[in-house]
Chains A and B, each alone.
Chain A
């Protein structure tokens, strides 16, 4: 039956390529050939074309080349009898179709710039449900989840289920499995995304249901995302098509679900996906391709019943997913983390300025607590009326032979996402400024406060097996108990903060490595010290220490600091030895406290990137959530493209936002006082800490001396501002000796 698939896909290839050739011709008649085209804020041009062929499409004119290439890939049609081999031609036709689809989407965006929202979440109230291609900000934020495995892969769902209930069942199942669901195409005008909305589900990147677009061509955004992840995090060079596709086969565990009748236009897309190692599972009776080879297992599986399609898809792709079965009446998983509980859906809430909501984790003696005991002290949620507020104290006691008080804040930080993982419950904030909103849907399904405890108990055991032996959770909902807990908690927070804030690199003999990203950025090795948190912002020294205790063979390994080779630039003998072996000889040495001299390597995951601004005698930094131009002449995404993949690039360094105000931040180059520019959004976020650290270094109101995009985005524009403010960098020693 493969012959029929080949026949259909090759026909589809001709159809799609010809159609898009026509559209391009028309566009070239209506617009100037030099008109810019593109997928918004991205450094990867049209990503599928760029990643596989190296062609950079920036103007309408540029689109001709990939389309000609696609035309050239189209193989002869398959004969009825005595045909020539068709597997290779089939895959080529698929690729041709996908290139054409990407060009088609570029033309659509040119013709209808407002068709897609280009945001994380659609604007449903305005009737705009299609988000279109993910920009690089979304890519970096979400791509990391594919890197660390918190998103095991994605399901590309094309078409629509027979009804909204079925669509909900399938897609919710994928959510429970923590997969992303990339939706595109319609079946008889119906789309799975609209069915989700009908069934009352929230859609958008935050709930992992991504509404790319209503046509099959929009499915290209899923592949574009996968390929950009390979370039951004995997260090795969554009044009290295073989490595790109193998990377996808072995790292990005994705598959296609075709819901509805598969015509030639779907067939060509499915054939294209096989190049990536992404198999197709259909709910209709199409010809199957079962032998293995290009994909890990089967290539096309047909006639899959809707209630089996999730399980079957995961199996065919060869994906192992550990679903946490927790005994609560609601679904649970990372896909529900980004779900919101809006005003109209709200049943009751705690914290958020209305009442007090406090969380505290404390170590306990083994004999003192009872494992699995969850107690609600005070009224439960079921006793409350709609619209009520209530105070809440979440008090978790953990005992374990390997447990240390240092781990308390780490465990406490888990509470935020763990509660958020519960479907229909929203959690914001942390410590004594927490805010929990409980939806009506959750109450209908029988949610009780006790379930929070059940989740924390189960997940703490599961994720921290090595250090946790017993967990007991008490939930206080009486004002006096909560106030008492809050008072005690505030004392604890203060002690902890002082301990962490005052910890310096000199205080410890051991740093930690982080090679979590190394399977993606092979020569990159992060080293984390107390005063240089991981550049992704997710791991500080204490986290690494705990992670090592929990998993001694894991990605965080202790590094003995050894002899201090250069105290000012932060070079240590032990670290050098370690990185030499961990990077397999690619990197010999780097400095902790300098961006000018042999700076630390950068993977694609950094929160911010600093760059030198020579004429201001200072440096700038830009966070990944700022998409605009910067005085160094490169946007964040371009910088990350240049820097990522484990390069040590003098003059640039990746770092976390928190690191900016840490004591050793580029201290070898003059420290924080070199900072002359950062985006306003970042400046506002760390405003107080900037001033505090500035003051320590002898400059009052330092934050206001730093220029931002409202002042200018070139060195010439910001220099007068710096002079007017008397910025300290201007009078410092030259940055480059």
Chain B
């Protein structure tokens, strides 16, 4: 509806907020109103109005998956993950925070009350009871008017900053905006675009396999640590990582979404492929509700040929190392039922039900080809994934070095044309 994302350059972390700009933070999971705010904040009217109020411009920033939506399509930099939502307010520079649904802390209004920040709810099913919260219900017929109203409110609020502004001076560059279609293009251009390029490098062993690392941040772990340790371990072992949600934001703030990362953290095979295609070793595929993109990409991989006939045959796995939301389980089950081996981090609430646990961790594999697993230690977690990938490579018969086959005429005639 809002266009297919294509790769673009942006930044990540709280450092993207600017003291001399009007800062508007978009938080939640829906791209609808935020699309309009992005448009409104770029109009001349609004920019002039901001200048009038003494600001040098309007800086948008995202939190959680709304951040990912506007990052993927417009390059709006994310200010942080789910766990950084309150931190964005206590910079003292957040002139407005617009929230929609899911992962919005109920206490956010209390934090906002301590600062000048206008907290705006937009969704009828996610209002807040505190009286400092403004509700501007999003109405698709008056989307632009609502968006302008919000931006104007933020600009008006710029002059009301009270506490000292403390923006942590940390941010990283990132390349985001990958999608099923744009990956295809980047693997071969307009004329030869195909996932086969990827498959070929999986078959020849430069890339060991694929891992979808996704999901939330969990307040019970050290911020981002599970994500980052896991991802680094995977790419070190030549596993290409597809990422979404807060996991992708974490990778962005740690600089893993740059092409230069490949030479630093990756094994030699993956590094070479990243260098050839010009991609980071971790591909940002969008918000956590875009996990279907990972499955679609995996389906394209199957269709391109050479790696089995079903998702379950692929040397691939899924992971949510810091999961906390219920929907993570729903998405996880979607992957398992699609034939993917899914490892969760931290803890799974299954210890009281050994029969059910056995069903999820073992029996499901016989039904769907995929199954659940859990491993809190990120390094062990990575090696469970790698072991699974190696198992699948063996089943596909691509666990040994590929020979260089020289073809004579008869061999060539046997080659397909696709």
Physical interaction between A and B = yes
The residue in chain A whose Cβ has the minimal distance to the Cβ of B189 is: A91
Instruction: Report A346 CB to chain B, min CB distance, Å.
Output: 36
Q: Are B276 and A289 in contact (CB under 8 A)?
A: yes
Instruction: Report A234 CB to chain B, min CB distance, Å.
Output: 8
CB neighbours of B196 from chain A (8 A) = 293
Instruction: Report B383 CB to chain A, min CB distance, Å.
Output: 25
CB neighbours of B191 from chain A (8 A) = 52, 91-92, 95, 241-242, 245, 275
A519 to B198, CA, bound (A): 28
A83 to B261, CA, bound (A): 12
A64 to B404, CA, bound (A): 43
Q: Are A90 and B189 in contact (CB under 8 A)?
A: yes
Report if A174 contacts B (CB, 8 A).
no
CB neighbours of B416 from chain A (8 A) = 250
Report if A84 contacts B (CB, 8 A).
yes
Q: Are A519 and B413 in contact (CB under 8 A)?
A: yes
Report if A55 contacts B (CB, 8 A).
no
Q: Chain A, 1-16, contact with B by CB distance < 8 Å: what is the 0/1 string?
A: 1110010000000000
A95 to B188, CA, bound (A): 12
Among the 9-residue stretches B17-25, B27-35, B111-119, B200-208, the one with 4 or more Cβ atoms under 8 Å from chain A is: B200-208
The residue in chain A whose Cβ has the minimal distance to the Cβ of B418 is: A246
Instruction: Report B276 CB to chain A, min CB distance, Å.
Output: 5
Q: Are B200 and A87 in contact (CB under 8 A)?
A: no
Instruction: Report B300 CB to chain A, min CB distance, Å.
Output: 14
Main SS at interface, chain B: mixed
Instruction: Report B207 CB to chain A, min CB distance, Å.
Output: 9
Max chain B CB contacts within 10 Å: which of A86, A87, A95, A247? A87
CB neighbours of B175 from chain A (8 A) = 82-85
Report if A495 contacts B (CB, 8 A).
no
Interface residues of B in 386-418 (CB under 8 A from A): 404-409, 411-413, 415-418
Supply 19 A–B pairs (Cβ within 8 Å), ascending by A. Answer: A52-B191, A82-B173, A83-B175, A84-B175, A87-B186, A87-B276, A88-B185, A88-B186, A91-B190, A92-B190, A92-B191, A152-B408, A243-B418, A275-B191, A275-B192, A290-B276, A291-B204, A292-B201, A294-B188
A95 to B201, CA, bound (A): 24
A367 to B204, CA, bound (A): 54
Instruction: Report A241 CB to chain B, min CB distance, Å.
Output: 5
CB neighbours of B186 from chain A (8 A) = 85, 87-89
Report if B260 contacts A (CB, 8 A).
yes
A528 to B8, CA, bound (A): 61
Report if A319 contacts B (CB, 8 A).
yes
Q: Chain B, 235-272, contact with A by CB distance < 8 Å: what is the 0/1 string?
A: 00000000000000000000000111000000000001
A-B Cβ contacts below 8 A, count: 134
Report if A318 contacts B (CB, 8 A).
yes
A444 to B186, CA, bound (A): 57
Max chain A CB contacts within 10 Å: which of B187, B192, B279? B192
Report if B197 contacts A (CB, 8 A).
yes
Q: Chain B, 276-299, contact with A by CB distance < 8 Å: what is the 0/1 string?
A: 111100000000000000000000
Choose from A52, A78, A85 the contact partner of B277 (Cβ within 8 Å).
A85
Q: Chain B, 349-375, contact with A by CB distance < 8 Å: what is the 0/1 string?
A: 000000000000000000000000000
Report if A328 contacts B (CB, 8 A).
no
Q: A88-B185, A91-B189, A294-B192 are in contact. Are A243 and B417 (CB under 8 A)?
A: yes
Q: A85-B277, A87-B186, A246-B417 are in contact. Are A320 and B408 (CB under 8 A)?
A: yes
Report if B77 contacts A (CB, 8 A).
no
A487 to B418, CA, bound (A): 58
The residue in chain B whose Cβ has the minimal distance to the Cβ of A2 is: B276
CB neighbours of A91 from chain B (8 A) = 188-192
Give the interface of A toward B (CB within 8 A): 1-3, 6, 52, 73, 78-79, 81-92, 95, 148-149, 152, 241-243, 245-247, 250-251, 253, 275, 289-294, 297, 299, 314-315, 318-322, 519
CB neighbours of B193 from chain A (8 A) = 88
Q: Are A81 and B8 in contact (CB under 8 A)?
A: no
Q: A82-B173, A82-B175, A84-B8 are in contact. Are A245 and B192 (CB under 8 A)?
A: yes
Instruction: Report B194 CB to chain A, min CB distance, Å.
Output: 8
Choose from A3, A79, A318 the contact partner of B404 (Cβ within 8 Å).
A318
Choose from B190, B275, B408 the contact partner of A88 (Cβ within 8 Å).
B190
Report if B273 contacts A (CB, 8 A).
yes
CB neighbours of A247 from chain B (8 A) = 417
CB neighbours of A90 from chain B (8 A) = 189
A289 to B185, CA, bound (A): 18
CB neighbours of B188 from chain A (8 A) = 87-88, 91, 293-294
Instruction: Report B201 CB to chain A, min CB distance, Å.
Output: 6
Q: Are B407 and A95 in contact (CB under 8 A)?
A: no
Report if B9 contacts A (CB, 8 A).
yes
A92 to B192, CA, bound (A): 9
The residue in chain A whose Cβ has the minimal distance to the Cβ of B177 is: A84
Q: Are A320 and B406 in contact (CB under 8 A)?
A: yes
CB neighbours of B8 from chain A (8 A) = 84
Max chain A CB contacts within 10 Å: which of B191, B407, B415, B417? B191
Q: Are A92 and B189 in contact (CB under 8 A)?
A: yes
Interface residues of B in 1-28 (CB under 8 A from A): 7-9
Which are the 3 A-B pairs with shortest beta-carbon distances? A149-B409, A91-B189, A293-B197
A730 to B204, CA, bound (A): 69
Q: Are A251 and B189 in contact (CB under 8 A)?
A: no
Instruction: Report A70 CB to chain B, min CB distance, Å.
Output: 11
Instruction: Report A278 CB to chain B, min CB distance, Å.
Output: 12
CB neighbours of B204 from chain A (8 A) = 291-292
Instruction: Report A352 CB to chain B, min CB distance, Å.
Output: 35
Instruction: Report A276 CB to chain B, min CB distance, Å.
Output: 9
CB neighbours of B278 from chain A (8 A) = 2-3, 6, 78, 83-87
Instruction: Report A301 CB to chain B, min CB distance, Å.
Output: 13
Q: Are A3 and B275 in contact (CB under 8 A)?
A: yes
A5 to B276, CA, bound (A): 10
A81 to B260, CA, bound (A): 8
A77 to B173, CA, bound (A): 19
Given contacts A250-B417, A318-B404, 4 further A-B contacts (CB under 8 A): A82-B175, A152-B409, A291-B206, A293-B276
A291 to B275, CA, bound (A): 10
A6 to B259, CA, bound (A): 14
Instruction: Report A522 CB to chain B, min CB distance, Å.
Output: 9
Q: Are A73 and B190 in contact (CB under 8 A)?
A: yes
Q: Are B406 and A315 in contact (CB under 8 A)?
A: yes
CB neighbours of A314 from chain B (8 A) = 406
Q: Are A82 and B260 in contact (CB under 8 A)?
A: yes
Instruction: Report B310 CB to chain A, min CB distance, Å.
Output: 23
